Amino acid sequence: MDCSWDFTGKCCIVTGAANGIGKQTAILLARSGAQVVLVDQDEEGLVAATHACHEVACVTPLSILADVSKKQDVERLVTSTLAHCHKIDCLVSGAGLLYRTPFMEIELAEWDEVMNTNIRGLFLCNQLIIAEMLKLGAGRIVNIASVAGRSMSLIGGAHYATSKHAVIGLTRHMARELCQQGIRVNAFCPGATSTAMIHDNLNVEQVDALKLRIPLGRLAEADEQAQVIAFMLSDAASYLNGACIDSNGGSVML
List residues with catalytic annotation. 160
DSSP 8-state assignment for residue 220 = B
| Residues near 208 by beta carbon (within 8 Å), at least 6 away in sequence | none
Residue 173: C-alpha distances to residues 107, 166, 177, 251 (Å): 30, 11, 6, 26
Residue 85 and residue 10: Cα distance in Å, rounded? 9
Residue 74 and residue 26: Cα distance in Å, rounded? 18
Structural contact between residues 117 and 69, judged by C-beta atoms closer than 8 angstroms? yes
Structural contact between residues 122 and 143, judged by C-beta atoms closer than 8 angstroms? yes
Residue 147 and residue 161: Cα distance in Å, rounded? 9
Structural contact between residues 61 and 53, judged by C-beta atoms closer than 8 angstroms? yes
| Residues near 214 by beta carbon (within 8 Å), at least 6 away in sequence | 191, 192, 248, 249, 250, 251
Which residue type occupies 67?
Answer: D
Structural contact between residues 98 and 85, judged by C-beta atoms closer than 8 angstroms? no
